[in-house]
Amino acid sequence: MRRNPSHVGRAVATSLVALALAGCSTANQSPVATVASEPVAAPKADTSINDLFDRYDEANLALSPLGKAYRGIRDADYGKWNDPSEEAEQRDFDLLQDTARQMREQYDVDALSSQDALSYRLFELTAARRASLHPFREYEFLFDHRRGAHTSIPAFLINIHRVSTITDAEAYVSRIEGIGPQLDALTSQARERADKGIMPPDWVYPYVIADLEALIAAGDNNAVLEDFDGKLAPLTPDLPASTEAENSEVIALLQMAREAWNSSARPAYQRLLEEMRRQQAMAPTDDGIWRLPNGEEYYAALLQSYTTTDLTADEIHDIGLREVARIHSEMRAIMAKVGFEGSLQDFFEFTRTDDQFYYTTREEYLADAQAALDRITEKLPEYFGVLPKAPMIIKPVEAFREKSAGKAFYQSPSADGSRPGTYYVNLYNLRDMSKNELEALAYHEGLPGHHLQRALQTELGELPPFRRFGGWTAYTEGWGLYSEELGKDMGFYTDPYSDFGRLGMELWRACRLVVDTGIHSKRWSREEAIQYLKDNTPNPEGDIVRAIERYITTPGQATAYMIGKLKIMELREMAREELGSEFDIREFHDVVLTSGPVPLSILEENVVSWVEEKRGN
């Protein structure tokens, strides 16, 4: 696999939601952060390079109240949103590039310790990744059926904003007050981009409009106010006042929240709804980003960013076709094992439609997923030398976003231990959640997948913050997909249908290489891509449609999973062959995980160095 780690994506010192909500609005709106960014002071020659990274992290967090909240930090910014302005985006970009320049001027990478030298290289690559995408910074769709402040604002308040004191509750109300300016600023940007032709395709708008209409129609019974009510209730007994005074203060906060919603948030949601209806009338019918100005260059930059390689769209497409053929062959072996007579497509139809492969209640699904995670947790010490301390919970996707959210995803724990890792499962339609896939999905999102990797990353306290809280998609999602197959190595998937489900999920990621490049490079339509998945995967139609719609509005991201997994498997087999009886799977996994996320080229260097050290070279 050819690699070019100089082209890598955006710095991730703040969370993805913080990036999606990046920003502030107009002047004199107190709920919004308006911190001006100053260049990180150049360190003295005899200071540790980590001092520079710490100062960068402090400056970056000063620009991101949401980034602080994800870390568990509650300070004077706890009631604010990020600045959503283009000027703030430029300040953030300049901060990163200026810090990288100072690093190069003040430190000689060859004179640093191995760990500091790795941090130097990773920071330089982070800056290069951000720079490669900076020319296309207006190309991201601010509102679509999966992402945008219209859903991420409620998700943030419900899942991240913790309330344990009255001050925290007041900050929650302040954030509700700030929703109006926040949404208005982003609505204005979306309007400007749409007028330049930068907007999602027409089929996206009914989803967004339906979500907005539902939220507005909910009135005071919306998810945000219900969440605030629930978080405020436990505080009442702890207030230092009489029962009457306690109730009075709580009632006042509840009333303030409702007034803030109805005077700020709700009108802004209504204005956003009107803009989405305006855009719907002029939205394009073509699906790929090739239709945007310099769209081919943009897609190439995205592929390099997400995969951390220099693979072209054609090369990625061909890898996908090859992997699809391989997995189909392994599926036919399972077909023979269970005695099914017919074609592979007949078997797909059987597994996607027969009632035996689906749950009838959410409770049953959640119980079986927890049981699968409990079983694999017992075997983790046989395969890992280092394990995370943070706990993990399983949680259904909230009702306000379950219609448009993906089938499963993971949220990292907070660094201060106040929030566990969370494995979200979307149980809106149980016919989209096959029993056959339950094990592989739990291993990918939970253990030994994202929770093990990302919680452990957060706990690597000796590393600079940009490494503990940043990420490289090919590494992180490659690890998640690798973990699905690792579950088989650990002795699971004893039911052949569950093993078929594992292969189905791997096939899904192989098909992503084909359809993502098909849509955005080969100019496939949404319908052509949907048909390819219908012909080549066992997934139900709802699952297929939702996936293709995701790939259309998040170009390139879906290619990272299989590219990353193939590299990890390649490196494991190389190490096993080179070391023979000296190969230790626990040591291999620790080498992969304990440096935190890295581009695939650096991951290869780390594994090769470990192999050479083991061999005494």
Q: Give per-residue pLDDT as tens, 261-295.
A: 999 999 999 999 999 999 999 999 999 999 999 99
pLDDT bracket for residue 248 (50, 70, 90): confident
Please give the Cα distance from 200 to 121 (Å, whole number): 36
pLDDT bracket for residue 42 (50, 70, 90): very low
pLDDT at 29 over 70: no
Domain ranges of the chain: 1-137, 300-561
pLDDT greater at residue 545 or residue 244: 545
Q: What is the H or E stretch that residue 367 is in?
A: helix 362-379
Taking CB atoms within 8 Å and a gap of at least 24, the contacts of 582-589 are: 582/614, 582/615, 585/383, 586/382, 586/383, 586/384, 586/385, 587/385, 587/614, 589/383, 589/384, 589/385
pLDDT at 246 over 80: no
What are the C-alpha distances in Å from 195 to residues 151, 183, 190, 282?
23, 18, 9, 9
pLDDT at 31: 46
87, 79 Cβ separation under 8 angstroms: no
- Rounded to 5°, angle at Cα 40 from 37 and 43: 170
**Distance from chain centroid for Cα 197:** 27
Please give the Cα distance from 473 to 454 (Å, whole number): 12
pLDDT at 235: 81
The residue to which tokens 């100072």 are assigned: 102
pLDDT at 608: 98
Q: Taking the CB of residue 442, how many other CB atoms lie within 10 A of it?
A: 27
pLDDT bracket for residue 244 (50, 70, 90): low
543, 336 Cβ separation under 8 angstroms: no
Please give the Cα distance from 466 to 53 (Å, whole number): 7
pLDDT at 12: 27
Beta-bridged to residue 410, according to DSSP, are 423
**Distance from chain centroid for Cα 397:** 15
**For all residues of the chain together, what is the average pLDDT?**
91
Please give the Cα distance from 592 to 604 (Å, whole number): 9
Strand pairing report for 392-396 and 408-411: unpaired
pLDDT at 403: 79
pLDDT at 540: 86
Please give the Cα distance from 221 to 219 (Å, whole number): 5
pLDDT bracket for residue 40 (50, 70, 90): low
pLDDT, average across residues 58-77: 96
Half-sphere exposure of 613 (CA within 13 A, CB side): 9
pLDDT at 233: 86
**Distance from chain centroid for Cα 550:** 13
Would you give the DSSP letter of residue 355?
G
pLDDT at 74 over 90: yes
What sign has the CA pseudo-torsion 168, 174, 179, 184? negative
Please give the Cα distance from 173 to 485 (Å, whole number): 46
Model pLDDT for residues 159-203, shown as the tens digit of each residue: 999 999 999 999 999 999 999 999 999 999 999 999 999 999 999
Q: Which two tokens stand for residue 236?
A: 């009442």
| % residues pLDDT > 70 (the chain) | 90
Please give the Cα distance from 617 to 609 (Å, whole number): 9
Cis peptide before 448 (omega within 30 of 0): yes
Strand pairing report for 421-425 and 408-411: antiparallel
pLDDT at 1: 36
Question: Which amino acid is it at 576?
Answer: R
Taking phi over 0 as left and psi of -120 to 50 as alpha, with beta for the rest, 417 belongs to left
pLDDT at 530: 97
Please give the Cα distance from 269 to 304 (Å, whole number): 36
Phi, psi of 292 (to 5 degrees): -80, 160
pLDDT at 429 over 70: yes
pLDDT greater at residue 61 or residue 41: 61
pLDDT at 54: 97
Q: Which two tokens stand for residue 472?
A: 């490289």
Q: Which two tokens stand for residue 166?
A: 């009255």
User: Which of 36-50, 161-175, 333-347 has the least mean pLDDT?
Assistant: 36-50
pLDDT at 616: 85
pLDDT at 156 over 90: yes
Please give the Cα distance from 247 to 60 (Å, whole number): 39
What is the end-to-end Cα distance of the chain in Å, rounded? Answer: 25
Per-residue b/e over 394-408, b at no fewer than 16 CB within 10 Å?
Answer: beebbebbebbbebb
Model pLDDT for residues 367-376, shown as the tens digit of each residue: 999 999 999 9
pLDDT at 571 over 80: yes
Please give the Cα distance from 559 to 303 (Å, whole number): 8
Phi, psi of 525 (to 5 degrees): -85, 165
Model pLDDT for residues 498-508, shown as the tens digit of each residue: 999 999 999 99
The angle that helices 435-445 and 362-379 make with each other, rounded to 10 degrees, is 50
pLDDT, average across residues 443-461: 97
Q: Which two tokens stand for residue 167?
A: 């001050």
User: Which of 307-316, 526-535, 557-566, 608-617 has the least mean pLDDT?
Assistant: 608-617
What sign has the CA pseudo-torsion 592, 598, 599, 602? negative
pLDDT at 240 over 70: no
The angle that helices 295-307 and 313-337 make with each other, rounded to 10 degrees, is 50
- Beta-strand (E) ranges in 80-168? none
Please give the Cα distance from 428 to 412 (Å, whole number): 23
Q: Taking the CB of residue 111, how many other CB atoms lie within 10 A of it?
A: 8
pLDDT at 24 over 50: no
Three-state SS at 34: coil
pLDDT at 44 over 60: no
Model pLDDT for residues 352-369, shown as the tens digit of each residue: 999 999 999 999 999 999
Q: Which two tokens stand for residue 465?
A: 């913050």
Three-state SS at 290: helix
